[in-house]
Homo-oligomer: A and B are copies of this chain.
Amino acid sequence: MKGKKTDLGSADCAIARSLDLIGDWWSLLIVRDAFQGKERFGEFQTGLGLAKNILSTRLKKLVSEGIFKMLPESEGSSRSRYVLTPKGERLCVLLAALWQWGEESCFRPGELKRTLVDVNSRKPLARLELRSQDGRRVGPRGFTLAKR
């Protein structure tokens, strides 16, 4: 991989290619808000305080990458809703990893007032951990890349 951002999309590295799609931090905040139930342009705009043209560009890219799909607000409506596709919904793990890292690493004790919970039990989610296929915990130096 060379130093140009445009090369990331064809890199032989899944991290680089992911970052090419969602490495723009606004995009992940839009996806975060979609998980919280937002669907309409105005809802995203109000929540993020983002200029219309910037939000519009980001949403177009996310639709073209297959992370959101556009649906009419109601039958025959010219307004659109932006709904996560299965590819977009799979970003829930990445968002949870960002949340949990931030929770542990970027706040003073007691400063963060909210946490990720299971909607059914209302109890905090388990911490995401690297594991081998037989369930052993894998530490930060316990993994590497290998040929398939």
Interface residues of A (CB under 8 A from B): 1-5, 8, 12-21, 23-25, 28-29, 32, 35-36, 47-51, 54, 84, 87, 89-107, 112-126, 128-136, 138, 140-148
Closest residue of B by beta carbon distance from A106? B17
A18 touching B121, Cβ below 8 Å:
no
A118 touching B143, Cβ below 8 Å:
yes
Please measure, in the bound complex, the distance between the C-alpha atom of A84 and the C-alpha atom of B28, giving whole angstroms: 25
List 13 A-B residue pairs with CB atoms under 8 Å apart, sorted by A's residue number: A1-B47, A8-B25, A15-B98, A18-B98, A18-B105, A90-B101, A92-B140, A94-B98, A114-B145, A114-B146, A115-B147, A116-B145, A128-B130
Please measure, in the bound complex, the distance between the C-alpha atom of A102 and the C-alpha atom of B21, giving whole angstroms: 9
Contact check: which of B8, B99, B125, B131 meets A14 at CB < 8 Å? B99
Please measure, in the bound complex, the distance between the C-alpha atom of A17 and the C-alpha atom of B107, giving whole angstroms: 9
Please indicate the chain B residues that have their CB under 8 angstroms from the CB of A132 in the complex.
Answer: 118, 120-121, 123, 125-126
Task: Please judge, given known A-B contacts A121-B132, A128-B128, A142-B120, whether A100 and B28 are in contact too, CB under 8 Å.
Answer: no
In the complex, what's the smallest C-beta–C-beta distance from A33 to chain B, in angstroms? 10
A119 touching B93, Cβ below 8 Å:
no
Please indicate the chain B residues that have their CB under 8 angstroms from the CB of A87 in the complex.
Answer: 105
Please indicate the chain B residues that have their CB under 8 angstroms from the CB of A119 in the complex.
Answer: 141-144
Closest residue of B by beta carbon distance from A111? B12
